[in-house]
Amino acid sequence: MRNFKFLVLSLFIYSCGKGEKKEITVQIELSYSFDTVIVDSGEEFLHLNDRLLFSDLSSNGKYLYNWNRSAFYLEKIDLDELRLVDNIKYEKEGPDGVGSYVRHVDCSPEGNSIFWSYEKKGIWDHQGKLLRNLSIESILKDADFPEDFELFQITQFPNEPDKFLTLYDEWDTNTLNLLIFDFSDASFIKIDLPKINKSIEFYAEILLNGSKVGRLNKDVEYTVDQNKAIIITNAYNHAYIYDMATDSLSYKTWDGPLVGDKKMSQYPKEVDYEKLWETARLSEEDINFGVFNWDEKNKRYYRFAVKTIFGEEKYDYGAYKPIDAEVFLSIYGEDLNLIAESKIPEFQNRPAKHFVKDGKIWLFENIDDELGFVRMTIN
């Protein structure tokens, strides 16, 4: 256990349009503790190669469903009993097939599984049967959409089974929008996110033989809790909040006492593939903001931000090997106002896949090829 005395930082901000000075207090050191648990998988070997990147929690937080792309099944893990309870088999092809390459797995509010692959998007039950085909392409085919775009994972609205949301990334214009689909009448609406798109100042286009093949610093993600989708970028300390219950969009910014309000480095607008890893190193050494995770027990949000430290040694494919990291944890109230922010010196790497359960932050840890979690408790 690591204990700190509480240090408090007072900040002064001005209310918009009123000229009123308002004092807010941010705690900048925390008291916290760690413990480690290991999942009993019996005679089975759990799929840890993807570091739980293709996994999701059930709506009640009891089960973790981890996609095993080698065996094509979901590993159902009871987090209360810390044991593997089932392997749910799915087909790759055919009428119930989920597709050959699953990009995202999500738990629906009703307890089914949403698979998102290049070939198919839909909802499956836990007997491997396709319940509903989410044919987004058929809805978009008559709309004025460019050919070169990407859709993110799709999330079902709680209590509205016909409505889903996703993010839409238009490559040619570097713009990102929120799409809301209603499958009851095969309609959709597009919601602009102009403040997210200002992150273009940090984008670095990756060129291979003169052609664009990717981008650095365009990491956009969202998480859904409390009927709210919180949309973030890695480059700015800001977020859009879409409220599914009220169909409203709001925007918040923060300037953390330790993490600031945005990246600080200057990046080239274009980078040749041969120099990719030098620019990637520059980006990772700068601050990178993570996603929000809701703590239902304590009614607050947690968010990590990271600066990675590299040595000069490289992997075979060219990337620099990290040797350390500066990891910061920001804590927000239910209203998303910042209430605490602290460096977490025990972390020497970017936090792995994590979630909040029973008031603790659970961080994935591969412990001698067994599924483990380091659990962080904020005291």
pLDDT in tens, 230-281: 999 999 999 999 999 999 999 999 999 999 999 999 889 899 998 999 999 9
Q: How far is the C-alpha of 205 from the C-alpha of 364, rounded, in Å?
A: 32
Report the alpha-carbon distance of residue 140 to residue 186 in Å, rounded. 9
Write down the pTM of the prediction: 0.91
Domain membership of residue 201 (yes or no) is: yes
364 inside domain: no
Structure tokens, 310? 């590299």
Q: What is the CATH number of the domain that holds 267?
A: 2.120.10
Q: Is residue 123 part of a domain?
A: yes
How far apart (Å, rounded) are the C-alpha atoms in residues 110 and 171? 34
Residue 362 lies in a domain: no
Domain-embedded: residue 334 = no
Tens digits of residue pLDDT in 178-209: 999 999 999 999 999 999 887 778 888 899 98
Choose among 6, 30, 27: nearest CA to 344.
Answer: 30
Which residue type is seen at 11? L
Pairing assessment for the beta strands 63-68 and 73-78 based on DSSP bridges: antiparallel
Q: How far is CA 203 from CA 146, 178, 196, 267, 287, in A?
A: 21, 20, 12, 7, 14
In a domain, 38, yes or no: no
* Other beta carbons within 10 Å of 68: 21
CB atoms within 10 A of CB 149: 16
Average pLDDT over residues 145-149: 66
Q: How many domains does the chain have?
A: 1
Q: Show the domain range for 236.
A: 51-294+301-327
pLDDT, the chain, mean: 90
- Residue 218 inside a domain? The answer is yes
46 domain residue, yes or no = no
